Structure 1
């Protein structure tokens, strides 16, 4: 009986390890554990990305990347977060527009 239990246990662990829906492989290291309620100065931010519940994160957040490469988690529903995102999008649009004219 014991000889049958060990292979079954190994197979079960292998299935849990390789199935993203069952195991703990949802890239949780990319998720924010908390968000700051204090506004981040927009002039120190160079980029952003969203981390949402549908991505497997427990805390929805906008992750801002600073000029120094630090990543700061912010709540996506705050007006100050929207202002920073709009500013970054305007800058990005201007840069891509100027690149298309110079090519």
Structure 2
């Protein structure tokens, strides 16, 4: 299911970022985001790519267990649920490693 999901979603695209007072060679930005929920159990990490970062489309980029990077809208409840679960898992693993 993951390969089919990855094919149906737009992955990252490298595009030049506008110069905002710094020497930013290139920024990975999403050209679009999927409105279809991504199964949370295939996600291992996330990061934000926002307009303030030089991207035209604000997105949360989820990295799957297989290394795919999927772009999702940051304002969707299903995106928030995945992020909360990932943060909870990370906090739990930090407590156990201390």
Root-mean-square deviation (Å): 1.8
Seen in structure 2, the aligned counterparts of structure 1 residues 77 and 26 have a Cα distance that, compared at 3 Å, is: farther
**Cα deviations by residue, 1:6-40 (Å, 9 ceiling, x for unpaired):** xxxxxxxxxxxxx9349xx5524x00000000000
Match of 1:84 in 2: 82
Structure 1 or 2: more strand by fraction = 2
Which residues of structure 1 form unaligned runs of 5+?
Answer: 1-18
CA contact (8 A) 1:26 1:56 kept: no
Which residues of structure 2 form unaligned runs of 5+?
Answer: 1-17
CA contact (8 A) 1:37 1:75 kept: yes
Query: TM-score w.r.t. structure 1 length?
Result: 0.72
Bigger RCO of structures 1 and 2 (CA < 8 A, at least 6 apart)? 2
**How far did residue 99 of structure 1 move?**
0.3
Query: TM-score w.r.t. structure 2 length?
Result: 0.76
Structure showing greater Rg: 1
Runs (4+) of structure 1 moved beyond 4 Å?
none
**Cα deviations by residue, 1:35-65 (Å, 9 ceiling, x for unpaired):** 0000000000000000000000000000000
